[in-house]
Chain A
Amino acid sequence: MKHGSRVGSRIALILKYIVCIFLAILSIFPFWIMVMNSTRSTPEIQQSSLALLPSTHLLDNFKVYEGKSFNPLIGFKNSIIISAGATILGIYFSALTAYALVAYQWRLRQPFFTFIMAVLMIPAQVSGIGFYQFMYRIGWTNSFFPLILPAIAAPAMVFFMRQYLLGALSIDIVNSARIDGASEFYTFNRIVLPIMKPALATQAIFAFVGNWNNLFMPMILLTDKNYYTMPIMVSLLRGDIYKTEFGAIYLGLTLTVLPLFIVYFTLSKYIIAGVALGGVKE
């Protein structure tokens, strides 16, 4: 009996590993096919689109983009500008707002926090039409400002940073800075921001990736090819001119994913920890 249950638990463990390995393969496999096919010529792909090893047509696939609207370099540059700008503004002003909520006693503090919780999840789709009309009127379509400046008000980020500050900030440090004659703004920049570094780093990663991947707003606002972001560039690959250029489609997809893979696998430890933190609201 005892022996039987030990064998049973052995089988259960093997089963668990099989499921986990299957899921891991399921995560990798589509991207693997994508990367491999990006090095293969269209005839090769048409013969068999399932290859586990690379071929030699990477450069030929690159040449397909010549003179066409899909331009990964421009997309990359624009996405970097928008994502970096929005991330920096987002984490700085969210930290500042969180500090205002934690360090000071003011009459509207609680109502303001309640308000932030209430608007935590308003999506861009809800304000998109008005936002577009507003930007069109002031001539800000085909500009990066409407994609960067709204990051100053990021309710979810403020919420997260407030939770972090509540645990990490000791009011004594702030008070001793005051005694030393530091201004409030100086105290925030030189003393509080360094304390918040772990929270800033986590939020920066998610903000950057979120902005990098954003499609809805850029697609509404940007009509000039020179302003296209990476996801809009990707959406061009669905167009008819690439219909028969399978290798080039896969290569384009690979180029958009490559920077994300690099970021993800270098920072995965922090990202996983950040995901776990985001879920525990305590």
Chain B
Amino acid sequence: MGQKKIKSVSYAKYGYLFSLPFVIAFLVFTAYPIFYTAVIGFTDLKGMGKTDFKFLPNPFQNFEQVLKNPSFKQALYNTTVIWTINFIPQLLLALLLTAWFTNERQKIKGQGAFKVLFYMPNIITAATIAILFSSLFGYPKGPVNDLAMMLGFTDEPIQFLRDKWTARGIISFIQFWMWYGQTMIVFIAGVLGINPALFEAAEIDGANSRQIFFHITLPGLRTIMLYTLVTSLIGGMQMFDIPKLFLNGGPDNATLTVSVFIYNQAFSGSYLYNRAAAASMILFVIIAILSGILFYILRDKDAAQLRKEMRQYRRAQRAARRAEA
């Protein structure tokens, strides 16, 4: 270890050099735009094609107005509700399928094909899926209506997309349908990462499949489940393509999400860039908090522990030296 360090000391400058493109691109295309967005949030910048702005006498005016805006509150509510309705069944189904697919005693054939099909909706353009589903739920003629009438669920075609909760439900369903396959594959990979000796020991002790699942598989997946929860929540906060193109936030703002709100404020109607920027910053704070949690989950536990010990060791050394002197 020590020798390697001495050897590579002279190469340290390449570490900086090779990171430079990343750093420059990040500063220009991410950091500066975020800063710029934050600044715009305190100004009067609005109107199509405008770029010059003045700071407002009350710098927090936009933030106050956004937080008081009923549409924004509705958007926060919708985003949370749509995410929750999608995530709970997604988690449960993914866990159920994981239990089935990793059950050694009762193997399911064709797992590879099932995985490929379950994951498939995830790679299809969300914009396409949104418009496809709005066509499928068409009124008075649409495949879903035709199916419902063929199976005798209803005599009259149903106007699915006029009802608030049906509209939210369909968006939640689309999200669920697009993501449960991914969640399942990640969970299965997680199970394969659990020490096989644990399963063998349980087997020898005569545990049944259910006991193995609840006492070994599930606890072993805890970190991965937490990771999935947080990434899904962060992803859910950004939900844009589907609510935007499915019903453009309607009916009556029932599917308006925070991202759609930001887009509509800035790029339609009166082009309120400042209001949209303030809303972006509020979203940023929410995502930053969630990312903080994710960061905590992902942190290299061993490395963090090692660094802590090294610090303590050095402190002890210094203390010893001082004592000697």
Residues of chain A at the chain B interface (Cβ within 8 Å): 9, 12-13, 16-17, 20, 23-24, 26-28, 30-31, 33-34, 37, 45-46, 48-50, 93-94, 96-97, 99-101, 103-109, 112, 117-134, 136-137, 146, 149-150, 152-153, 155, 158, 171, 175, 184, 188, 209, 212-213, 215-216, 219-220, 230-232, 234-235, 237-238, 246, 249-250, 253, 256-257, 260, 263-265, 268-269, 271-272, 275-282
Which residues 1-43 of B have a CB within 8 angstroms of A? 4-5, 7-9, 11-19, 21-26, 29-30, 32-40
Which of B188, B231, B287 is A126 in contact with, Cβ under 8 Å?
A: B287
Closest to B231 in A: A121
Which residues of the other chain, A, contact B189 by a CB distance below 8 angstroms? 276-277, 279-280
Is B67 an interface residue, CB under 8 A from the partner? no
27 A-B interface contacts by CB (under 8 A)? A26-B177, A27-B181, A48-B146, A96-B21, A97-B22, A100-B17, A120-B295, A125-B280, A128-B280, A129-B280, A130-B36, A133-B45, A134-B32, A134-B36, A149-B29, A184-B11, A213-B126, A234-B245, A238-B245, A249-B135, A257-B128, A275-B119, A276-B185, A276-B186, A276-B188, A279-B190, A281-B227
Closest to A112 in B: B19
Identify the stretch in B137-145, B160-168, B196-204, B311-319 within 8 Å (CB) of chain A at 4 or more residues: B137-145
B125–A123 CB distance below 8 A: no
Is B263 an interface residue, CB under 8 A from the partner? yes
Which of A112, A272, A279 is B115 in contact with, Cβ under 8 Å?
A: A272
Which residues of the other chain, A, contact B245 by a CB distance below 8 angstroms? 215, 234-235, 238
Is B131 an interface residue, CB under 8 A from the partner? yes
The docked-state distance in angstroms from the alpha carbon of A112 to that of B16 is 10
A122–B186 CB distance below 8 A: no
B51–A136 CB distance below 8 A: yes
The verdict on A120 contacting B34 (CB below 8 Å), with A220-B267, A256-B125, A257-B124 known, is no
| Interchain nearest-CB distance for A268 vs B (Å) | 5
Is B78 an interface residue, CB under 8 A from the partner? no
Residues of chain B at the chain A interface (Cβ within 8 Å): 4-5, 7-9, 11-19, 21-26, 29-30, 32-40, 45, 49, 51, 97, 100, 106, 108, 110, 112-121, 123-129, 131-136, 138, 141-143, 145-147, 150, 177, 181-182, 185-190, 193, 224, 227-228, 231, 234, 237-238, 240-241, 244-245, 258-259, 262-263, 266-267, 273, 276-277, 280-281, 283-284, 287, 290-291, 294-295, 298-299
B266–A132 CB distance below 8 A: yes
Which residues of the other chain, B, contact A158 by a CB distance below 8 angstroms? 22
Closest to A123 in B: B238
Which residues of the other chain, A, contact B29 by a CB distance below 8 angstroms? 131, 146, 149-150, 152-153
B37–A129 CB distance below 8 A: yes
Which residues of the other chain, A, contact B4 by a CB distance below 8 angstroms? 171
Which residues of the other chain, A, contact B16 by a CB distance below 8 angstroms? 100, 106, 108
Closest to A24 in B: B117
The docked-state distance in angstroms from the alpha carbon of A276 to that of B182 is 8
The docked-state distance in angstroms from the alpha carbon of A38 to that of B113 is 26
The verdict on A249 contacting B131 (CB below 8 Å), with A49-B138, A105-B12, A125-B259 known, is yes
Closest to B303 in A: A110
The docked-state distance in angstroms from the alpha carbon of A237 to that of B107 is 45
A153–B121 CB distance below 8 A: no
| Interchain nearest-CB distance for A237 vs B (Å) | 6
The docked-state distance in angstroms from the alpha carbon of A188 to that of B125 is 35
Which residues of the other chain, B, contact A97 by a CB distance below 8 angstroms? 18-19, 21-22
List 12 additional A-B contacts (Cβ < 8 Å) besides A31-B132, A49-B145. A20-B110, A28-B120, A33-B143, A106-B12, A108-B16, A112-B19, A128-B266, A129-B262, A132-B273, A136-B49, A231-B125, A231-B127
The docked-state distance in angstroms from the alpha carbon of A234 to that of B125 is 9
The docked-state distance in angstroms from the alpha carbon of A264 to that of B100 is 25
B40–A130 CB distance below 8 A: yes
B15–A100 CB distance below 8 A: yes
Closest to A205 in B: B123
| Interchain nearest-CB distance for B131 vs A (Å) | 6
A122–B119 CB distance below 8 A: no
A100–B14 CB distance below 8 A: yes
The verdict on A153 contacting B30 (CB below 8 Å), with A118-B291, A129-B262, A281-B227 known, is yes
The docked-state distance in angstroms from the alpha carbon of A104 to that of B10 is 9
B186–A278 CB distance below 8 A: yes
| Interchain nearest-CB distance for B129 vs A (Å) | 8
Closest to B125 in A: A213
B51–A235 CB distance below 8 A: no
Which residues of the other chain, B, contact A17 by a CB distance below 8 angstroms? 108
| Interchain nearest-CB distance for B197 vs A (Å) | 17
| Interchain nearest-CB distance for B142 vs A (Å) | 6
Which residues of the other chain, A, contact B284 by a CB distance below 8 angstroms? 122, 126
